[in-house]
Structure formats: structure tokens, C-alpha cells
Amino acid sequence: MRRLALALLGALVVGTGCLGVLDPMVGEPLAERCANVDSDPDTEVSFARDVQPILLGAVEGQPGCSCHIPGTPDPIGLEETGLDLSNYGGLIAGGKNSLGGVVVPGAPCESVIWQKVSAGPPFGSRMPFNGPPFLDAATRQLLSDWIAEGARDN
């Protein structure tokens, strides 16, 4: 009887430790949330006007992806992966490892490029490799919207 009472008391003590908040604070999320939808369906995102300048580093305040651009001082990303981000064809073709998955038209969450520029990529380092700074939230959303719209060469 005494053994049973001690076992019940022990279970009660352990059980009360589990009665805290159901959603404990464990820190910032490791991965950025993603949705396969266009955040602004009324505004068309253009590859030539909006996306390519981001990749080339031609948007003020954004780091760009120079390590995947031929002719830059340190094209290590291009040399290591074969991923050429200087033009639409290279982006869609992908590199040695990603093949055609760099951009999955209509599905930014499955697109390697969005995964790699977002916080907490599922593999490897966040891009650009020499960051921070990384692409800001508005720029990442623009890239996501372009992919959600079908990733057209427009």
C-alpha cells in the first residue's frame, strides 16, 4: 500500500510539471513560413523588371547573388554548383544538385531558391553565402510572388 501511495505521489509530482503552457516559448522559428500563394494577385511581378535585378545585386540595399554570376570577382557558387543566376534560362535549368528544382512554377515553398534565401533553409547555408545582410522580407516576398504567379520569363 505504501508503495502504491509513493508511486501515485511521484506520478502526481511529475504530472504537475506538464501542466504549464501548452505552447511554450522555445525561441524564434528555425524556418520561415511559406505559402504557395501570391500575396498581391493584382500586381504582376516581372522577371526582367523585378527578379533579375535582385539576383544581379542591382537593387539598392539588397546583397544579390553575385557568387552565382559569371564574371564576378568570386563566382564560387557558380563554380561549385553550376547554378547560373545571371539569366532566366540558368535559373530555370538549375545546377548540378538542384537540377530543375531551383524554381518550381506556382510553388515557391518547393522552390530551392526561395528556401535558400529564407530564414532557416532545410539544407545548407542561407544565401547569399556572404550574408548577412540577407534579402529583406519585402524582397523575399517579391521573389515568392513571382514564383507563385508561374515564374514566367516576362
Alpha helices in 45-87 (DSSP H): 52-56, 76-81
Q: Which long-range contacts (CB under 8 A, 24 or more apart) does 117-120 make?
A: 117/143, 118/31, 118/32, 118/34, 119/29, 119/30, 119/31, 119/32, 120/29, 120/30, 120/31, 120/32
Total domains, the chain: 1
The share of the chain scoring above pLDDT 70, in percent, equals 81
| Residues 63-72 pLDDT 10s | 989 999 999 8
- What is the pTM for the complete model shown? 0.79
Q: What is the mean pLDDT of residues 14-33?
A: 61
* pLDDT value at 8 more than 80: no
Is 53 domain-assigned?
yes
Domain that holds residue 78: 45-148
* pLDDT value at 131 more than 60: yes
Is 8 domain-assigned?
no
| Residues 85-114 pLDDT 10s | 999 999 999 999 887 899 999 999 999 999
DSSP state of 104: -
